[in-house]
Amino acid sequence: MKAFWFLWTIDALVALVFLYFFFVGLADGSVSSFNIGLWSVVLVALAGIVLGSLHLRSAGRIGPAIKLLGLLAVPAIGVGLLFLAVLITHPRWN
């Protein structure tokens, strides 16, 4: 049960980051009719993962819910660890 909520929290944070950039893009005009379709697909997919996992959990299907959450949480954890390593080690990129 703790694994579910850990992964769900990571997925919710990722969804909040995407929502933040979506609304900032709406405000500054970078989200336009040209790319609103791409944003719609991404936001619907994120909502499907976050809300779908809650639905699966409420139906008693914890295993599939954790697998669904892992689709987004595992890459997000990997990117987070990469950023952490870059911040700690200060690599030379030249």
DSSP letters spanning the chain: -HHHHHHHHHHHHHHHHHHHHHHHHHHHT-S-TTTHHHHHHHHHHHHHHHHHHHHHHHTT-HHHHHHHHHHHHHHHHHHHHHHHHHHHH-----
- Report yes or no on 54 lying in a domain: yes
Whether the model pTM is above 0.95 = no
- Report yes or no on 20 lying in a domain: yes
CB 21 within 8 A of CB 30: no
Using one digit for the tens of pLDDT, what is the confidence trace for 65-85?
Answer: 999 999 999 999 999 999 999
- Report yes or no on 79 lying in a domain: yes
**Residue 19's pLDDT band (cuts 50, 70, 90):** very high
* Average pLDDT value over all residues in the chain: 95
The structural domain count of the chain equals 1
- Report yes or no on 8 lying in a domain: yes
- Report yes or no on 81 lying in a domain: yes
Which range of residues forms the domain containing residue 30? Answer: 2-89
- Report yes or no on 94 lying in a domain: no
- Report yes or no on 23 lying in a domain: yes
